[in-house]
Amino acid sequence: MLPKRNEAFFTPSTQDKTLKLIRKAHFIASLKSILEFIAQDKPSAALDFFSQLDRQLLTLLESPYMYRKSHYFTEECYRDFIFKGYTVIYKVDSNTVYVLEIFKWKKR
């Protein structure tokens, strides 16, 4: 269900450096399960979910600290945001944003 893409995407930031977005294997596996579940009922909804989430993730390259500090980690570099009832956890590390996990809040 996931479109074929490289793990990392590159976009210039406003600070003359390039930020890299890396989706970790655990995130990809969890997202795939979520998309398969959604697609059982309505395949087009799964594609919409993926497209909208991907756009949201790419905004992290412009402003990686735009979302709240994570409730699940003590370090400031861990952040999370809510997307359609799912929590997405990511880590900001120098020139890289690592997308670590996506889960339904009730299942955590």
Q: What are the boundaries of each domain within the chain? A: 18-107
Asked if the 18-107 domain carries CATH number 3.30.2310.20, the reply is yes
Global pTM reads 0.80
Q: Quick check: helix, strand or coil at residue 14?
A: coil
pLDDT in tens, 15-63: 446 899 999 999 999 999 999 999 999 999 999 999 999 999 999 999 9
Which has more confidence, 1 or 48? 48
Give the contacts of 42 (CB within 8 A, at least 6 positions apart).
Answer: none
